């Protein structure tokens, strides 16, 4: 298969994916927040692996080691998952779009080092939006920029016996300049959120 950059992958197309995914994420996030607030007891997520890893990172002795640990988790692990999920597609939907469902767990690592007792509601909300909002928008940018990189696909969600079929090799994948710009923007947003979190 020829390694040709899709001419449809212009900046407006990539930005519309970002806006669509971010809107869908906000909807999922708000529903998850309400469900969690109404149904989960205080401290229910403390034993979750994301929270335990975040606590270890937050216990780092210095600023630079904590920043490196935060970036390793947020960009190295979560960012890689967002991009690698896009290597598979079901019908016309890249699996990276399922990264929106991680919204329930973002708060377990973003605020692990911050003691929120005694913090006014608006100050806590602003802190959450400046960290989690930038971080999430960064993940959305990574997903939107790599939505076309699928190398394996299957046609349906419900036939569990159906196997993923290789449609192209990874070395044939090329990102357009617009996708590269959005990918870099996503990485920068995650970096800024990690800096603010540290």
The answer to whether 163 and 169 are in contact (CB under 8 A) is: no
Q: Is 73 within a domain? A: yes
- Token digits of residue 35: 């469900």
Average pLDDT over residues 2-21: 72
- At residue 51, the 3 state secondary structure works out as helix
Range of the domain at 96: 11-197
Q: In what helix (H) or strand (E) does residue 90 lie, and over which residues does it extend? A: strand 88-90
Domain count, the chain: 1
Longest dimension (CA), the chain: 59
* pLDDT confidence bin for 128, thresholds 50/70/90: confident
Phi, psi of 89, deg, nearest 5: -140, 140
Residue 67: per-residue pLDDT? 86
Q: What is the mean pLDDT of residues 30-54?
A: 74
* 4 domain residue, yes or no: no
Does any domain span residue 1?
A: no
Q: Establish if 6 belongs to a structural domain.
A: no
Of 70 and 48, the structure prediction assigns the larger pLDDT to 70
Question: Looking at per-residue confidence, does 1 or 133 come out higher?
Answer: 133
Q: Is the pLDDT of residue 183 over 90?
A: yes
Most confident region among 27-36, 44-53, 86-95 by mean pLDDT: 86-95
- Give the model confidence (pLDDT) of 90-109 as tens digits: 988 888 887 665 554 454 45
Q: Is residue 82 part of a domain?
A: yes
88-90 and 152-154 beta bridge pairing = parallel
pTM of the model: 0.77
Is 5 a member of any domain? no
Token pair of 51, please? Answer: 């929270």
């Amino acid at each position: 298969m020829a390694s040709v950059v899709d001419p449809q992958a212009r900046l407006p197309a990539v930005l519309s994916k970002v806006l669509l995914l971010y809107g869908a994420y906000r909807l999922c996030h708000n529903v998850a927040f309400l469900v969690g607030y109404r149904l989960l007891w205080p401290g229910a997520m403390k034993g979750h692996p994301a929270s335990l890893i975040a606590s270890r990172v937050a216990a780092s002795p210095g600023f630079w080691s904590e920043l490196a640990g935060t970036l390793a988790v947020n960009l190295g692990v979560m960012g890689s998952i967002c991009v690698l999920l896009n290597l598979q597609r079901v019908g016309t939907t890249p699996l990276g779009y399922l990264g929106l469902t991680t919204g329930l767990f973002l708060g377990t690592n973003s605020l692990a080092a911050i003691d929120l007792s005694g913090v006014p509601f608006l100050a806590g909300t602003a802190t959450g939006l400046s960290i989690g909002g930038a971080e999430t928008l960064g993940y959305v940018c990574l997903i939107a920029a790599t939505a076309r990189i699928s190398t394996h696909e299957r046609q349906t969600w419900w036939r569990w016996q159906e196997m993923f079929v290789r449609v192209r090799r990874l070395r044939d994948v090329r990102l357009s300049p617009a996708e590269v710009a959005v990918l870099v923007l996503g990485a920068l947003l995650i970096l800024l959120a990690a800096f603010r979190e540290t």
